[in-house]
Amino acid sequence: MDGKRQKDESNANKQIFTALLATIPTFTYGIQIGWLSPLGPVLKSKQSPADTPLSDDEVSWVATALPLAAICGIPFFSYASDRFGRKLCVIAVSLLSCVSWTIKLTSINTPSLIAARVIAGIASGGCFVAVPVYVKEISEDSWRGALGSLTITVSKLGVIFVYAVGMSCSYATNQIVYLSISGIHVIMFSFMPESPNYLLKIGDEKKAASTISWLRSVNGKHKIVAEEISKLKEEQRRYDEAPRVSLQSVVRDRPTFSALRMTLMLMAMQTLSGCFALMNYAADVFTRAGTEWSPNTLALLVGSLQLAGSFLTTMSIERFGRKIPLACSSLVVSLCMTTLATCFLLEGPGWVGASAVCVCLFAYGAGLAPVPLVIMAEVFTFQFRSRMAGASMMFSFFCSSMTVLFYTPVANEFGAHAVFYTFAAVTLYGVLYTALWVPETKGKSLQEIQKFWTKSEPVFV
């Protein structure tokens, strides 16, 4: 048994490499998310590289443009990944990022920056549609959870990267570095294989078998290849025989509708936790907390802690499952948001607020950020998976855009404490919801997972 396990692990090398390369667009997404934290104050300063310094309202709209545009990017990439293939869509994400960085480099004014963020937002839609689907379809079952969580882990690495580069380099150098990353990815990923699922879907069984053979590092005649091709053909047969997906078919299929309702709630928990706003306005939050350290230095520390949390989940998710990390993460985030809000209300010491933010984003990275995406990929049938995941991510980006858009005006009008007490209430409810109404999906087949919703459940969940 140990020998077989070692053999399986050695066969995963190409899967891991391919998955890591496929997640480079999510690294760029992390850069886009954290971009305004070090560079927003620069754009508002008297030494701004922009034609005229940006106002608080203009920076809010620059921040909001990305998640709002991502709502449009998701259906586009959902359609394109089925029509043109997963690989081409992953490349298209990086091409759009190249356009975004080029605009930011050559035309520094509010309309151009908003346009660049819109393009980046469309690309972000692909990061959470094309990339996860591609990674899932190249991964064998034993690596599905770990490789699936890479999407979030790598994006956190991007957040750290932009904090570090943003602090140490000029505005122009920043954009050149980010443009280079996206451009190099376009070239490198052109040499990667298309996913076996899509190749089989378009009738190229021979190439699908060859791709599986390469990914698993086995001979083309190995039984692993034959077994996976047989499984994929069965999935495709069920998909072809299934009725066309419609809103009515989703509502009538109780397990699918219940799974969709649950994933929408998980996305609301994730985005309305306030952590997305914290990543965009990390430097501002530290300034409001009255810390004596450099806000950008603390933001870099926060990004590093968040990456550590994501890495912890990647390494442990197949051991501890989905529910425990999600519930514990939500509870810690709620406690930290309450501490931060109280610190703002009572004008407590800056180190308390800074510590709360650091612990909060570590906990977010360890559960609330990656786990909903992993669960989302596991609870839908092949027939519904792409569209239900797309609907969930559209809702997620809408919630994200609202938290970013209203963070500054609400904090200025009612005080930052009001904003963070709200975030704390959302995540506290998330603990209860996870404990009572989220199934454990670790190590279970889709049929076993869906049995959770065949039991009686409250209609308001």
Dist. CA 129–CA 7, nearest whole Å: 31
- Does residue 278 contact residue 285 with C-beta atoms inside 8 Å? yes
Going by pLDDT thresholds of 50, 70 and 90, the confidence category of residue 4 is very low
Place of tokens 């004014």: 109
Q: What residue segments make up the domains of the chain, in order of their start? A: 14-192, 249-460
Going by pLDDT thresholds of 50, 70 and 90, the confidence category of residue 5 is very low
Dist. CA 332–CA 166, nearest whole Å: 29
Query: To the nearest 5 percent, what fractions of the chain are helix, strand and coil?
Result: 80, 0, 20
Report H helices in 107-222.
110-127, 130-138, 144-148, 150-168, 171-189, 196-201, 205-216
**pLDDT over threshold 70, residue 270:** yes
pTM for the complete prediction?
0.76
How is 274-287 classified by DSSP, letter by letter?
Answer: SHHHHHHTHHHHHH
CATH, domain range 249-460: 1.20.1250.20
Of 286-295, 315-324, 362-371, minimum mean pLDDT range: 286-295
CATH of 14-192 among 1.20.810.10, 3.90.950.10, 1.20.1250.20, 3.20.20.140: 1.20.1250.20
Same fold, 14-192 and 249-460: yes
For residue 388, what is the enclosing H or E element? helix 382-414
pLDDT tens for each residue of 60-100:
889 889 988 988 898 899 889 888 999 999 999 999 999 99
Report the phi/psi class of residue 108: left, alpha or beta, with left for phi > 0 and alpha for psi in -120 to 50.
beta
The sign of the torsion formed by the CA atoms of 72, 77, 78, 84 equals positive
3-state secondary structure of 444: coil
Query: Among 89, 148, 74, which residue's Cα sits nearest to residue 377?
Result: 148
Residue type, 74: I
3-state secondary structure of 53: coil
What does the block give as tokens for 446?
């889709």
What does the block give as tokens for 416?
């930052």
Neighbours of 225 (CB within 10 A): 22
